[in-house]
Amino acid sequence: MVTAIVVDDDSANLKTLSELLELNGLEILGTCVNGKEAVSMYEDKKPDFIFLDVMMPEFDGLFALEQIRKIDQTTKIIMVTADTTGETESILRKLNVTDVIHKPYDITSILHAIEDSQKSTNDSARLYKDTMQEINFELKLNADKLLKKWEKENKKVRF
């Protein structure tokens, strides 16, 4: 089952998003209300996804994003914001977020963000596997060539 934590300082938004995710098959490992708690919960729970509000008092979503990225560059972080300006989304994309969803929540865009992220992960894994197979093939070819060369040279030395 896909797991997630949800971070939002607004209790209604926190509950709504958590319930939407659960109704669509995600297991919510926990919720919290600020960026500092988000980092701690991430380290403890290691969820598949983090849904992280941008604007929160005390420690905001950008703080949490930065701290979590220091721990793991590949963590799937979906930022949640009511700000629909292109500037905010551009800043978030530069910070290597998995996706950005806007309030009010649209379950279709949330599910697309999850699906796209999982497809990207699967594509990366497939690319890694294919690359490793190519490298192994090249190593085997080189080893075979070296072995034949060695055998040829050793035949000359034999009496």
Q: Which CATH superfamily is domain 3-125 in?
A: Response regulator (3.40.50.2300)
Q: pLDDT tens, 98-150? A: 888 888 877 777 777 778 776 655 454 455 455 556 655 666 666 677 777 77
Q: Which of 45, 48, 41, 46 is nearest to 8 (CA)?
A: 41
pTM, two decimal places? 0.70
Q: pLDDT tens, 8-63? A: 999 999 999 999 899 888 999 999 999 999 999 999 999 999 999 999 988 999 99
Under a CB-based contact definition with an 8 Å cutoff, are residues 52 and 7 in contact? yes
φ, ψ for residue 139, nearest 5 deg = -60, -40
The DSSP-derived string for 8-51 is -SSHHHHHHHHHHHHHTT-EEEEEESSHHHHHHHHHHH--SEEE
The SS3 of residue 80 is strand
